[in-house]
Homo-oligomer: A and B are copies of this chain.
Amino acid sequence: MAPGDLILTPSWSWHDHGNETGETVVWMDGLDIPLIQSLEAMFFQFYTAPQVPASRPPNASKQLHGHAHLSPTWVKEKPQSSPLLLYSWDQTREALSALRENDGSPFDGVALEYRHPQTGGPVMPTMACWVQLLRPGQQTKAHRHTGSAVYNVVHGTGSTIIDGQRFNWSKGDIIAIPPWALHEHLNASSTEDAVLFSIQDTPVLEALGLYYEKALEEKDGHQEVTSVFAAT
């Protein structure tokens, strides 16, 4: 696990977390537990030892499934969650860089979704992962949609305006966008790109026929800022 990497732990896989260095490591853990608990479909089991012995070589999933648009024909299983467990920052940075000048989405900038290599679908049935780049000074337009998102700032400084409230952010910050809240993003720097990672529950809304989206039409698509969030 290196900075910027996305690592998946699909449901019902033995897993443990560890830090083999002498330094602190921090990452954002994205879980669908509130949904699964409200559906009372939660199962949980402890392994018999503190650590699960590795049954495959390090990064075996990347060796097998990590190749752009080329898939192993001898692998017949298509698990619900992506069989690719590591999405390296190298590839992500390269993709963002290649698309940097693209118009992208008016609401999200150059927003890319991590994909299940075998189906082109979301990485998990309940959660999609996104990475998005905002060019220096870029301000997106406001929209709202069912489904919520939790953001992690990978790089840069800027702000997200949510239902009229401005949340200023910089590297490492976490921002949550509730369902149906109007939101727009701003890269506050005039020289540096901003990069945001996010986890979205869009796959749930789409699977149940509940995904709706609406752009703000007034004021050229921008909200009036009526307050600024201040962490205590």
Contact = CB atoms under 8 A, between A and B. Distances in A.
Interface stretch (A87-95, A156-164, A186-194, A218-226): A87-95
A174 interface: no
Interface string A113-152: 1111111110001100011000000000000001110000
Interface stretch (A15-23, A47-55, A69-77, A165-173): A69-77
A36 B114 CA distance: 26
Given A67-B94, A70-B95, A117-B69, A209 B112 contact: no
Contacts of A71: 112-113, 115, 120
Contacts of A67: 68, 91, 94-95, 98-99, 112
Nearest to A104: B74
28 contacts: A11-B209, A35-B38, A35-B208, A38-B38, A39-B146, A39-B204, A41-B147, A41-B179, A41-B210, A41-B212, A63-B98, A66-B98, A67-B91, A67-B112, A69-B87, A69-B114, A71-B115, A72-B104, A73-B105, A73-B108, A73-B113, A74-B104, A116-B120, A118-B120, A119-B120, A120-B120, A126-B208, A126-B209
